[in-house]
Amino acid sequence: MNSAARIRLLVSGCLLWSTLVGMTLFGRTVTQQSAMVVAPTVPFSKGRLEKLDAVRKTLTIQTKSGLQTFWLTDRTRVFHGKEELSMDRLKTGDIVAVRFALDGRGDRVARIIKLDTGTEPSPLDIGTTPSSRPIEMHP
């Protein structure tokens, strides 16, 4: 590619970039910052482990936006820091962060589960505390 072609390509790219800023693309307004940052984000959820069902291969956590259920696969990995753990190390009440992908049906499939054995999170992290949960009353 000669230098004139490189210059035309560079000028075309600059014109395209300046044209995109301020436009709506895929339902989002392109800003100068978002036009420059192209790294994809990986979805994750954080909350208290409510249920681990080994038979159905699901994991349910309580997040600040409610209960979320994730499918577990043979490729799902559990970590505490850099140490990989077996799935049976998880227990109800653990605070976990789940990185996931959506399958073709829109279901969440857990890829990485990070176990947090530190202090109890704030109510803002998980949306509820054990004392603020509604109590079920049966007659």
Task: For 6-49, write each residue's pLDDT tens digit.
Answer: 666 655 654 454 555 555 545 565 555 544 455 556 788 999 99
Domain-embedded: residue 137: no
Q: Is the pTM of this model over 0.85?
A: no
Residues 29 and 49 in one domain: no
Pairing of strands 24-25, 77-80: unpaired
Number of domains in the chain: 2
Return all residues near 73 (Cβ < 8 A) that are at least 6 apart: 57, 109, 110
Domain-embedded: residue 136: no
Residues 123 and 57 in one domain: yes
Which of 85, 76, 78 is CA-nearest to residue 57?
A: 76
Q: Averaged over 80-95, what is the pLDDT?
A: 91
pLDDT of residue 18: 52
Domain containing residue 21: 3-36
CATH number at residue 110: 2.40.50.320
Residues 72 and 104 in one domain: yes
Residues 74 and 28 in one domain: no
